[in-house]
């Protein structure tokens, strides 16, 4: 039960970070008197004073159930103050923006620990948006760190390291030893996850050194715990217990609930391996008690699992069964709630039908009695004359029609209510679905090549990306591999069209991205054609074994830069292409480069993909695209745009700036499409060679 980077070192903004803004309140902040801070929050008429006191409380309180309440209050105050303010104008605007960004990051941290990733990503990006406006490097480094934690949870380790290194660069520039320690710890956890033990130890011990220098007992304890877990994984149980005990000593001193929960759990697991069941049980029960108090489902399940094994080993089958039930309780409780709701619904339906049947019998009985009275009255009154009989018959007719009318009105009103209720349910479900897809879009966009990353490696480029729906089957992806010993850097750029669009296409794009990452970063395959061969085989193994033929059309580019001993650079561009071909524009002419007429996936051909080299002159332009633009219907006759006009359009605009080229493509696409529906995802990337 290890603290991974997003839970170990995802941090709340430190009070040290905001000292320059708090000079006015120096009378209470240095002492960190919690009671005084709470009194200010409760009684001060000044929002700035209350906001400052709340910030200090969030920083000093470790209780995972208490500090989020103060953090929510900061968000409420700052959002109200910044309701109509987009960029800071006054120092007061900046004050509230700094607080709001910190609070958004803290909210992301809270949700991240509770494994609500879509919401956590939302709040991290809210914080990042503000930090870019106010250029607060400290918080920018913090948010980069926390986004790295997201990638760790998605097992995209290369991306996580990229974000951690961005954060580390800023912290080194600032001389922030505590922050440097946090990133070292995160890098240690990342390499730990990648099972690169030596590099993990290297960064853990560097982090430990920094935490001791900056007097940070919380993270000293957490890092000692992680080192212990590393030794446990290597089978050195004695060394592991030594580090767990060191961590526990600090956790007990600082009364860090979550830290105690984790270390007690780890000690329990170690004792269980040594078959010291009674000692293991004691620590597991302690950990379970805190896990329930702070409400972390993963910790509760972990301790329930340990206690199940311990009680089973001790022969306490009744207790073992209870812990087995606890392990599944959260999933089962949801089912129980749904089943209870269905039972109540059936009971109400039964009561309604029963009452309706009773009413019908009573009504029919009343009609029979009324008929008998009418017959008796007719016999008695036969001498009064036909006039009275006609009046009586007419009265009965009117009464009957009135009853029928009332019944019809009741039925119509009930049906109207049911229709309105169903419409409301449909609207709610539709909103939930759209919200879920929007979260999926945010997650998908985090996996696409980031603009800053592309600018770093492709100074002159543009990306025209226009999904048909909220999420896309088309995607563009990049990564870089640095071979420091050989002085070689390989930059990869892929433009791909997965089978389908919308949600099914997005699922395929995520699968394809994961296989590309696997080929380069895990399997160490570096030639573009061999990478596509690997991805195709993985798709066939995972998708086609059930008869599916899903995959992608793709262009994978590799720009290899080599430095000699004098620092001179040489570049070579290679690529592999499946169904789509790259375009080179040189001196106003467009040239279609070669491609393999087969998909990355199961098809009629299973030949290996061809490795091709691009020969181009400096200043030439290279374009990679999918089929969405060329296949779009429109124009005066409602026909496809087609590839030849697209290549000519690229050639005509190649002399313009890339920003202007992107704008021209957007205008041409919209003018051609007109009022017709977009038929497919569109992705075009242009590069200056």
pLDDT tens per residue across span 194-206: 989 899 989 999 9
Q: Contact, 661 vs 687, CB < 8 A?
A: no
Q: How open is the CA angle 257-258-262, to the nearest 5 degrees?
A: 120
Over the stretch 269-278, which tens digit does the pLDDT of each residue have? 999 888 889 9
| Closest of 248, 330, 256, 336 to residue 296, by C-alpha | 330
- pLDDT of residue 608 exceeding 90, the answer is yes
Range with the lowest mean pLDDT among 84-93, 179-188, 419-428, 543-552? 419-428
Over the stretch 115-150, which tens digit does the pLDDT of each residue have? 787 888 889 888 888 888 888 888 888 888 888 887
Q: Contact, 586 vs 617, CB < 8 A?
A: yes
**Residue 476 CB contacts under 8 Å (≥ 6 apart), including other chains:** 448, 449, 463, 465, 493, 494, 495, 496, 683, 685
Which range in 263-267, 286-290, 334-338, 376-380 is most confidently predicted, on average pLDDT?
A: 263-267
Over the stretch 647-686, which tens digit does the pLDDT of each residue have? 999 999 999 999 999 999 999 999 999 999 999 999 999 9
Q: Residue 371 — very low, low, confident or very high, per pLDDT cuts 50/70/90?
A: low
- pLDDT of residue 415 exceeding 80, the answer is no
Question: According to the model, what pLDDT value does residue 373 have?
Answer: 53
If you write DSSP's letter for every residue of 383-409 in order, what string do you get?
TT-HHHHHHHHHHHHHHHHHHHHHHHH
| pTM for this prediction | 0.43
Question: According to the model, what pLDDT value does residue 628 have?
Answer: 93
Question: According to the model, what pLDDT value does residue 565 have?
Answer: 78
Percent of the chain with pLDDT over 70: 84
Range with the lowest mean pLDDT among 69-83, 340-354, 402-416? 340-354
Q: How open is the CA angle 604-613-571, to the nearest 5 degrees?
A: 145
Residue 7: phi and psi, rounded to 5, are: -110, -25
HSE at residue 356, side-chain half, CA atoms within 13 A, is 9
Question: According to the model, what pLDDT value does residue 670 have?
Answer: 94
Outline where DSSP puts E strands in 415-530: 461-466, 474-483, 488-498
| Closest of 561, 563, 599, 565 to residue 580, by C-alpha | 599
Question: According to the model, what pLDDT value does residue 70 have?
Answer: 92
C-alpha distances in angstroms, 413 versus 355, 416, 418, 557, 608?
A: 18, 5, 9, 65, 68
Question: According to the model, what pLDDT value does residue 10 have?
Answer: 44
| Closest of 598, 604, 609, 603 to residue 556, by C-alpha | 609
Q: Residue 395 — very low, low, confident or very high, per pLDDT cuts 50/70/90?
A: low
What is the average per-residue pLDDT within 377-396?
Answer: 66
| Closest of 598, 360, 620, 628 to residue 473, by C-alpha | 628
Cα separation, 158 vs 163, whole angstroms: 9
Q: Contact, 554 vs 496, CB < 8 A?
A: yes
Q: Residue 339 — very low, low, confident or very high, per pLDDT cuts 50/70/90?
A: very low
Q: 563 by DSSP, 3-state: which?
A: strand
- pLDDT of residue 176 exceeding 60, the answer is yes
Question: What is the chain's mean pLDDT, rounded?
Answer: 81
Residue 486: phi and psi, rounded to 5, are: -100, 0
What is the average per-residue pLDDT within 25-29?
Answer: 33
Cα separation, 547 vs 152, whole angstroms: 33
């Amino acid at each position: 039960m290890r603290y991974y980077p997003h839970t170990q070192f995802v941090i709340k903004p430190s009070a040290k970070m905001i000292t320059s803004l708090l000079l006015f309140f120096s009378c209470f902040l240095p002492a960190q008197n919690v009671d005084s801070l709470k009194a200010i929050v409760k009684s001060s008429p000044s929002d700035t004073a209350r906001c400052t006191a709340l910030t200090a409380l969030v920083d000093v309180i470790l209780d995972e159930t208490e500090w989020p309440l103060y953090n929510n209050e900061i968000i409420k105050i700052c959002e109200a103050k910044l309701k109509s303010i987009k960029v800071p104008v006054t120092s007061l605007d900046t004050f509230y923006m700094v607080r709001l960004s910190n609070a958004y990051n803290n909210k992301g941290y809270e949700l991240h620990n509770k494994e609500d990733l879509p919401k956590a990503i939302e709040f991290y990006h809210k914080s990042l948006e503000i930090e870019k406006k106010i250029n607060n490097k400290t918080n920018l480094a913090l948010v980069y760190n926390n986004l790295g934690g997201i990638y760790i949870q998605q097992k995209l380790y290369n991306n996580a390291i990229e974000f951690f290194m961005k954060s580390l660069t800023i912290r080194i520039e600032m001389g922030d030893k505590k922050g440097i320690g946090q990133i070292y710890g995160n890098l240690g956890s990342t390499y730990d996850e990648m099972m690169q033990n030596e590099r993990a130890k290297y960064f853990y011990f560097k982090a430990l050194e920094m935490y001791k220098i900056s007097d940070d007992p919380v993270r000293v304890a957490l890092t000692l715990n992680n080192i212990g877990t590393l030794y446990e994984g290597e089978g050195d149980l004695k060394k592991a217990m030594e580090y767990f005990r060191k961590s526990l000593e600090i956790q007990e001193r600082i009364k860090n609930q979550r830290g105690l929960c984790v270390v007690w759990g780890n000690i329990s697991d170690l004792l269980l391996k040594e078959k010291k069941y009674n000692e293991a049980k004691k620590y597991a029960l302690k950990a379970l008690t805190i896990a329930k108090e702070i409400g972390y489902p993963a910790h509760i399940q972990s301790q329930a699992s340990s206690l199940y094994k311990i009680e089973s080993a001790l022969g306490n089958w009744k207790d073992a069964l209870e812990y087995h039930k606890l392990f599944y309780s959260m999933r089962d409780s949801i089912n129980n709630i749904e089943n209870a709701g269905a039972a109540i619904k059936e009971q109400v339906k039964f009561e309604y039908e029963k009452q309706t049947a009773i009413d019908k019998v009573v009504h029919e009985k009343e009609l029979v009695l009324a008929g008998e009275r009418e017959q008796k009255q007719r016999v008695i009154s036969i001498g009064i004359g036909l006039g009275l009989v006609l009046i009586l018959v007419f009265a009965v007719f009117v009464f009957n029609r009135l009853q029928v009318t009332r019944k019809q009105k009741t039925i119509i009103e009930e049906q109207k209510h049911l229709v309105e209720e169903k419409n409301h349910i449909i609207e709610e479900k539709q909103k939930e679905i759209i919200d879920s897809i929007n979260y999926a879009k945010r997650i998908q966009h985090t996996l696409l090549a980031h603009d800053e990353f592309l600018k770093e490696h492709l100074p002159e480029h543009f990306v025209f990306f226009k999904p048909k729906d909220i999420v896309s089957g088309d995607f563009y992806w990049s990564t870089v591999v640095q071979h420091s010993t050989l002085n070689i850097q390989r930059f990869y750029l892929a433009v791909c069209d997965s089978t389908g669009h919308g949600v099914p296409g997005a699922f395929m794009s995520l699968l394809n991205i994961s296989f590309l990452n696997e080929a380069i970063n895990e399997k160490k395959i570096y030639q573009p054609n061999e990478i596509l061969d690997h991805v195709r085989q993985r798709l066939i193994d995972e998708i086609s074994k059930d008869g599916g033929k899903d995959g992608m059309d793709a262009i994978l580019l590799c720009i290899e830069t080599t430095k000699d001993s004098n620092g001179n650079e040489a570049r070579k561009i290679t690529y592999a292409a499946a169904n789509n071909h790259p375009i080179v524009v040189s001196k106003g002419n467009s040239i279609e480069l070669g491609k393999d007429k087969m998909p990355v996936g199961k098809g009629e051909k299973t030949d290996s993909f061809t490795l091709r080299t691009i020969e181009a002159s400096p200043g030439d332009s290279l374009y990679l695209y999918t089929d969405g633009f060329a296949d779009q219907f429109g124009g005066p006759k409602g026909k496809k745009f087609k590839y030849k006009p697209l290549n000519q359009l690229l050639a005509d605009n190649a002399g313009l700036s890339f920003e202007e080229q992107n704008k021209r493509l957007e205008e041409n696409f919209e003018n051609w499409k007109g009022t017709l529906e977009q038929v497919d995802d569109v992705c075009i990337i242009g590069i200056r060679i």
